[in-house]
Every structure is written in C-alpha cells, then in structure tokens.
Amino acid sequence: MKKVYERNNIAFDMPSPYCPGCGHGVIHRLVIDAIKEAGQEDNTIFMAPVGCSILAYTYLDLDICQPAHGRTPAAATGIKRALPDSLVVLYQGDGDLAAIGTAEIIHAANRGENITAIFVNNAIYGMTGGQMAPTTLKGQKATTCPFGRSPEDGQGYPIRVCELLQSLGGVTYAARTSVHTAPNVLKTKKAIQTGIENQMEKKGFSIIEILSACPVNWGLSPQKSNEFIANEMIGYFPLGDFKKDGKIIQRSDH
C-alpha cells in the first residue's frame, strides 16, 4: 500500500499535548510540515512564548526559545539579527501578540524584521483559563466578560490584526486563514509556506493569522466550535490575503 501520510518526526513520538478539538495541534502540524518541506529543520528557531504554545517546548524537536509573554517579536529580532540566515518562526496567541505584546509586534513588523509570525487567533486566553482576549468577539462570553464582551461598556472592540499591520512598510505578507474545515486547513498550509519562503528569500516580515478553536474555554464541543468559527468569527475576521509581496490587497469587505 502506498503511504500518503505519516508522522512528521519534528514532533516527538508522544500524544498531542493539546485539548481535543483545539486548533493548536493542527497548526503545529502545518508549521512543522512546512519547515520540513523547506528542509529547514536544522536551521529553524521556533519562538514558543507564553500561552498554550508552552506545550510546544516538549513536543517539537526544534531549537526553541521561550521569550516572556508578548515579547516574542523583540526576542525574535535579537535572534534574527544575530543569526540572519536562520529561519525564525514566531508562534503567538492573541493575548501574547495583540494585548501585552502589541508594541513589539507593530515595531518588529514595521522594521521589516525578516521573520515569520504564526498568529493563533482563538478569541480567548487559553492557557490562563478563558479570559477575554483582544480578539474576543462582541457578545462573546469569557471569565472576565461573563455577560458577553461589550464595547459600549468599555471593553473595547475585537482587534483585527492583519488590517492593523498591513499599512506598515516593513510587512511583506499578511494573510488570515482558518483551520475549521479541510479546505481551509490546506489554505493555511499554503499561507504558512508563503511566510516561510518569504523569509528564506529575505523579503521581510510575514504574518499568518489563523482562526482556531478553543472548545474547552469556549464551552462548546469541537464540532460546535468549528461552526462558531464559520458562523461568527469569519464574519468579523474575514479570510484571505491582506498584503502580498509588500502590496496591500484591495478588498471589498471593509
């Protein structure tokens, strides 16, 4: 029989450390497949900061740096400037990237640091148990917005990171994808590959924002979680390219 799919040995031979239905596991797989296909496993430095990505430390057989919460793009800058030929992949949650680390991502992007940011937007703080994230949707409940996020009550609006970053001169590529269905998983893979190729071609800063389920903290089954992405998240966080080869993509959804 022909083998069409097998373990990627960048992941240690152990059960996935992630919760059932969580998008992190799928995204990890896509990232390590893209690294392997690019032949970069010996040249990659994987930035696994604070959030559910801490589970990557013991799961992935890569050189890994654990920076402080939100400071991932700054630490990645230090690494990349010291080792310009290495492949530096950031793996950040929405709390890490769009709340505590907003300054760092904007400035790393604006400097055009030649790095690739994988931004997992699960609209919640996973690791700390389901608090409101900067990307939590209007009306969505979390432990710190138990009545549903209400911008009118001073809880702010969900931040659209790709739209925010696309105007910065140092950004070469910004795309939003999702992993809630098989075709979207494939598109996500393509986007990650583009982000990695850009870095290898020294094109500057790439960000791939990936909508991803957190069934445990959303209080939904894995299936209902994927429906939440399809029916609620994508309406506010439209999928597709926002910037490619340094050019802003004109879109009709805003």
Partner 1 sequence: MGEKQLMKGNEAIAEAAIRAGMTCYFGYPITPQNEIPAYMAKHLTIRGGTFIQAESEIAAINMVYGAACTGARAMTSSSSPGISLKQEGISYLVGARLPAVIVNIARGGPGLGNIAPSQADYFQAVKGGGHGDYHMVVYTPETVQEAADLTMKAFDVADEYRNPVLILGDAILGQMMEPLVFKEPSGKKFDKSSWTLGNRKGRKSHLINSLSLTEGVVEQWNWELKKKFDLMAERELMVEEYMVEDADVIFVAYGTTARICRSVVHQTRKQGMKTGLIRPITVWPFPTETIAGHAEKTKHFFVVEMSLGQMIEDVRLAILGNAKIHFHGRPGGGIPAEADILKQLKAILQS
Ligand X SMILES: Cc1ncc(C[n+]2csc(CCOP(=O)(O)OP(=O)(O)O)c2C)c(N)n1
Binding site for partner 1 (CB under 8 A): 41-43, 45, 50, 54, 57, 60-68, 71, 74-83, 86, 103-104, 106-107, 111
Q: How many residues bind ligand X (CB under 6 A)?
A: 17
Select 87 or 185, whichever has its Cβ closest to partner 1.
87
Query: Which of partner 1, ligand X, none lies near 63, with the C-beta cut-off 5 to 8 A by kind?
Result: partner 1
Query: Which of partner 1, ligand X, none lies near 93, with the C-beta cut-off 5 to 8 A by kind?
Result: ligand X
Select 73 or 215, whichever has its Cβ closest to partner 1.
73
The binding track of 127-156 with respect to ligand X, each residue x by CB under 6 A or -, is xx----x-----------------------
Select 100 or 230, whichever has its Cβ closest to partner 1.
100
Among 95, 158, 195, 204, binds ligand X (CB under 6 A): 95
Contacts of residues 160-163 at CB distance under 8 Å and 24 or more positions apart, as own/partner, are 160/236, 160/237, 161/94, 161/97, 161/98, 161/105, 161/119, 161/121, 161/135, 161/207, 161/209, 162/207, 162/209, 162/242, 162/243, 163/242, 163/254
Choices 37-45, 90-98, 158-166, 178-186; region in contact with ligand X by CB under 6 A: 90-98
Binding to ligand X by residue 199, rule CB under 6 A? no
Contacts of residues 187-190 at CB distance under 8 Å and 24 or more positions apart, as own/partner, are 187/239, 188/27, 188/30, 189/30, 189/33, 189/34
For the CB of residue 152, give the shortest distance to ligand X in the complex, in Å.
24
Query: Which of ligand X, partner 1, none lies near 76, with the C-beta cut-off 5 to 8 A by kind?
Result: partner 1
Among 94, 113, 209, 241, binds ligand X (CB under 6 A): 94
Select 52 or 185, whichever has its Cβ closest to ligand X.
52
Using CB under 6 A as the binding rule, the residues of this chain from 41 to 80 that contact ligand X are 50-53, 69
Among 25, 126, 195, 215, binds ligand X (CB under 6 A): 126
Instruction: Point out which residues bind ligand X (CB under 6 A).
Output: 50-53, 69, 93-96, 120, 122, 124-128, 133
